[in-house]
Amino acid sequence: MDTKRRKELIENYKNRRPEMGVISYRCKETDEEFLGISKDTKSDFNSTNLKLSANLHPNKRLQELWNKYGEEGFELTIAKELKYEDPLEDHTEELEELRELCLAANPKARKIWR
């Protein structure tokens, strides 16, 4: 790959606008919901699914349900999407506020990650 093309790809990656928001894993059988903040929802769904499939997820209850019901036993959604302007800005605080709103709306919901 030539240097010009490599620089172009790096620049495109830096300026991409990934979907950010609150991701939700809801067990269809028990109706338990687990919420996490995400700066790249597609990437975080893939990462979390991989950890769950490998039986390596730190959330023991989520892992237990995944082991029992499998991926097909869960509904994966974006509970709230964050609208933002600058992809380079840190949006962690805004994402945490969105998650708190989702937790308040469903008192039985829990955080995916502590």
Convert the pLDDT of each residue in 51-82 to its tens digit.
999 999 999 999 999 999 999 999 999 999 99
Under the banding of pLDDT at 50, 70 and 90, the label for residue 87 is confident
Under the banding of pLDDT at 50, 70 and 90, the label for residue 114 is low
Residues 67 and 55 sit within 8 Å (Cβ to Cβ):
yes
The pTM assigned to this predicted structure is 0.86
The number of beta carbons lying within 10 Å of the beta carbon of residue 33 is 21
